[in-house]
A and B are shown apart, each in its own frame.
Chain A
Amino acid sequence: MELNNSKAKRITWWQKNQVKISPWIFLAPGLIFFSIYVIAPIFVSIGISFYQWDGLSPSIYVGLQNYIELLDDEYFYISLWNNLKWLIFFMLAVPIGLGLAIFLNQIVFGIRLIKSLFFFPFVISQVVIGLIFTWFYQPNYGVIAPFLNLIGLEGFSILANENTATYGIIFAGLYPQIAYCLILYLTGLNNINPEQIEAGRMDGAKGFHLFWNIVLPQLRHATFLAIVVTVIGALRSFDMVAIMTQGGPYGYSNVLAYYMFEQALSEYGYRMGYGSAIATVLFTIMMFYILFFIYRMYRNEREDNN
């Protein structure tokens, strides 16, 4: 009797808690790897930023020294400023992508082929795009050289000029990013409720009004997603900079992500502490944005549930 009882008890414990425990069992592998490879490195990296370390010799604790040095570092401000430029001008990808999506969202012969051609930049690797645009910008014999000659800028090199280099890279970066936003909007347009448009038409809405008040609100999710990927793309812009200018001329097209790499891991770098300090600053900027993003998502979901 007693034996039976204890057995029953054990079963009931599992049965009682099964619903609570099983999600954690399923989540466990993901959580473990996420903590080892994402969460833990964040703290380790913040920790390293308080040290002076070349990756070989023993590290020396320097407190806030790296951050103090950052405040006095011209190149840091240039990189920060360039990150801001990226954030602002990279956003152009969203309206341009939307415009192209609406243009392509029609049923004519061969539209599938044309759509796939517009997707193409997104398929090509960033590195390849960077290389191709570097050739485009090549002074004297690049593709755009004749146009520059027309406006009297003979032999002008976009990537070698401190005032234009960043814009040159952002422009190259826009090329695949527009395609990305275009894809997001095209799928969004597929999900638009035709009845609402019909109803709008009946009520006399047309042209811009129809678009602004009926189509765009229904694309809200696509817009949100497009902005999110574009902001993240702008903040982590690294590959384009690495391929096209390596932060040059003399550091004027650097962004935080590349500057961090340059200080910590490049041939002349190996200042792990300083690189980590830059990474921490970049992380903080991203964190603000990510928190806002999570808050929006949470709010949206609550709205949907209500």
Chain B
Amino acid sequence: MKKVIISLIMMFGIISSTSFAGTLVINTDTSDAAPKEAFEYIIKKFEEENPDVTVKWNVFDHEGYKQSIRNFLNTDPPDVANWYAGNRMLPFVRAGLFEDVSDIWKDSGWVDGNLSENMEHAKKSMTIGGKQWGIPYTYYQWGVYYRKDLFTANGISVPKTWDDFVAACATLKAAGITPITIGSKYLWTTAGVFDYLNLRTNGYEFHMDLTLGKVPYTDPKVQAVFDKWDELVKPGYFLENHAALSWQEALTPMVNGEAAMYVMGNFAVAPLKEAGLRDSNLGFFQFPEITPGIPMAEEAPTDTVHIPSKAKNKTDAKRFLIFMSRADVQEEINKILGQLPINKNSSVKKGDPFLKAGLNMLNNAYAMAQFYDRDAPAQMASEGMKGFQEYMSNPDRRQKILERLEKVRQKVYK
């Protein structure tokens, strides 16, 4: 019955401004199947553990949520809303729309063990101005997904260094296979490549300085990143016509065996498997080392829950956030999501080699980047990604593009 009620609420997406004691209003953007199921599960579990609380859950369309959250935080705030870590939450924090939840992170009495310890590697991306503004509950790894069979057929082993990687591309190209597929129509895929090249060439600190606007885009270190990128772009190791394709469309050449690698997030595994690839011919490896000795930081976009500062029922909202931070809860959510829990005490779904590899990699990661469009402010991100796409189509324009980005940087981070 409860499920029926929840799904009814879900269907109508009712937003009501009236709330009585013990009602917890949660807004989420989990309109896709797996995230919806995950939230259905945790809300049910939360209600079972807290019989005095009735959860009222509004599901928004994933894309529409980005617009709606700007409205409802002001006009009709829920008690809990989900969002993303890093600079993506900065506008809301700056506008005073998110509640400071540093006390949950500090007070070890509320949770099993100390949060700051269990989620230490994610704390940085939840911190603005020395305070924490939400609780992360899931993330996923980025890296290189590749066709094992194509590698074997061409005598390539998994590249560990940049030279191996470039050599592997050359071998594949010579064999008539597109080394790296990419679909850049919606721009953001190019940022994945840039982030990794920068993280590996210059390291996490420099990458953060760049996305925080402390370093000019014309810096020699940024030039060095593009020098590395040149080694892939100039010989044509990326898929042709990538600007016409979405990231999903760019999966096709990989499925057909016409392309061998994809720098992507773990969400690409599901569609690749649906299209017929198996664990036997689809593999994953960490983006190879470029500058030796630089600690390996990874790209791991994190999903989070927050309390709007205008929420009516902050007491129960805090209970929900603490609940969401628990190892066992994160474990269950991420089993349904097919992603990775943040809490170090959670384990992951058995038998999924990609999750296992991701967990290994992230638990040993030096630091976590959130992705260019979450680390850099929106305007910088959109101009930057446009620039990356233009560069990938016209590597000769590098200087002009970097100068333009520098101009944007000076405007954005005034």
Given the known interface contacts A267-B378, A269-B378, the answer about A250 and B91 at a Cβ–Cβ threshold of 8 Å is no
Contact residues in A for B91 (Cβ distance below 8 Å): 54, 56-57, 270
Q: Considering only CB atoms and an 8 Å cut-off, how many residues of chain B contact the other chain? A: 31
Is A157 in contact with B97, judged by CB distance below 8 angstroms? no
**In chain B between 362 and 398, which residues have their CB closer than 8 angstroms to a CB of chain A?**
373, 378-379, 381-382, 386-387, 389-390, 393
Question: Which of chain A's residues has its CB closest to B386's CB?
Answer: A250
With A74-B404, A267-B378 as contacts: A250 and B95 at CB distance below 8 Å:
no
How long is the Cα–Cα vector from A269 to B91 in the complex, in angstroms? 12
**Chain B residues, Cβ within 8 Å of A54:** 91
Which residues 90-148 of A sit at the B interface, judged by CB distance below 8 A? Answer: 137-139
Q: Per a CB cutoff under 8 Å, which of B70, B390, B407, B411 touches A249?
A: B390
Write the nearest CB–CB distance from B217 to chain A, whole angstroms: 15
Name the residue on B nearest A65 (C-beta): B411
What 1/0 flags go to B251-285 for Cβ under 8 Å of A? 00000000000000000000000000000000000
B389 partner, pick from A72, A248, A270, beta carbons under 8 A: A248
- Whether A155 contacts B411 by the Cβ 8 Å rule is no
- Verify if B187 is at the interface (C-beta below 8 Å from A): yes
Are A139 and B241 in contact, with the CB atoms below 8 A?
Answer: yes
Q: Does B185 contact A (CB under 8 A)?
A: yes
CB-contacts of B177-225 with A (<8 A): 185-187
Are A160's CB and B386's CB within 8 A?
A: no
Check: B242 CB closer than 8 A to any chain A CB.
Answer: yes
Check B240 for interface membership: any CB of A closer than 8 A.
yes
Please report the C-alpha to C-alpha distance between residue A55 and residue B187 in the assembled complex, in whole angstroms. 24
Q: Quick check: is B2 within 8 A (CB to CB) of the other chain?
A: no
Partner of B390, one of A159, A245, A250, A268: A250
- A72 → chain B, closest Cβ, in Å? 8
Q: What A residues does B407 contact at CB under 8 A? A: 72
A139:B95 contact, CB within 8 angstroms: no
Residues from chain B with a CB closer than 8 A to the CB of A156 are 241
B244 close to A160 (CB less than 8 A):
yes
A69 within 8 A of B: yes
Q: Which residues from B are CB-within-8-Å of A72?
A: 407
C-alpha gap A262/B404 in the complex (Å)? 18
* Choice from A69, A160, A270 contacting B243 with Cβ under 8 Å: A160
Interface of chain A: mostly helix, strand, loop or mixed? loop
CB contacts under 8 Å to B, within A253-288, are: 262, 265-271
* Residue contact A268 to B381, C-beta cutoff 8 Å: yes
- B363 to chain A minimum Cβ distance, whole angstroms, is 31
Number of A-B contacts (CB under 8 A): 72
Q: Is A246 an interface residue (CB 8 A)?
A: yes
Q: A246-B185, A270-B378, A271-B379 are in contact. Are A159 and B244 (CB under 8 A)?
A: yes
Bound CA span A159–B404, Å: 24
Instruction: Identify which of B66, B74, B378, B393 contacts A250 (C-beta below 8 A).
Output: B393
Are A155 and B241 touching (Cβ within 8 A)? Answer: yes
Residues of A within 8 A of B386 (CB): 248, 250-251
Bound-state CA distance A269–B390 (Å) is 19
Residues of A with C-beta under 8 A to B74: 56
Question: A267's closest neighbor in chain B, by CB?
Answer: B66
Render A66-103 as a binary contact track against B, CB cut-off 8 A, 1 for contact: 00010010100000000000000000000000000000
Q: Which B-chain residue is minimally distant from A55 (CB atoms)?
A: B70
In the complex, how many angstroms separate the beta carbon of A36 from the nearest chain B beta carbon?
Answer: 20
A90 to B332, CA, bound (A): 56
For residues 148 through 177 of chain A, which have their beta carbon under 8 Å from a beta carbon of chain B?
155-157, 159-160, 162
Interface residues as binary, B76-113 with A (CB distance below 8 Å gives 1, 0 otherwise): 00000000000000011011010000000000000000
Interchain CA distance A232-B378 in the complex, whole Å: 32
Chain B stretch 395-414: residues in CB contact (< 8 A) with chain A: 404, 407, 411
Which of A56, A57, A268 sits near B382, CB closer than 8 Å?
A268
State which of B95, B185, B240 has its C-beta within 8 Å of the C-beta of A248.
B185
Q: Which of A29-68 contact B (CB under 8 A)?
A: 54-57
| A163-193 at interface with B (beta carbon < 8 Å) | none
A72-B403 Cα distance, complex, nearest whole Å = 13
**A250 in contact with B373 given A139-B241, A155-B240, A269-B378 (CB within 8 Å):** no
B: residues with CB less than 8 A from A are 66-67, 70, 74, 91-92, 94-95, 97, 185-187, 240-245, 373, 378-379, 381-382, 386-387, 389-390, 393, 404, 407, 411
17 example contacts (A-B, Cβ-Cβ < 8 A) are as follows A55-B70, A56-B95, A57-B94, A155-B241, A157-B243, A157-B244, A159-B243, A160-B245, A162-B393, A248-B185, A248-B389, A249-B389, A250-B393, A266-B382, A268-B379, A269-B379, A270-B378
Q: Which 5 residue pairs are nearest across A and B when measured between Cβ atoms?
A: A268-B382, A160-B244, A160-B243, A250-B390, A157-B241
Please name 16 further chain A to chain B contacts, defined as beta carbons within 8 Å, in addition to the given A56-B97, A156-B241, A270-B91, sorted by A numbering. A56-B95, A159-B243, A160-B185, A160-B241, A246-B186, A248-B243, A248-B389, A249-B390, A250-B386, A250-B387, A250-B393, A262-B382, A268-B373, A268-B379, A269-B379, A270-B70
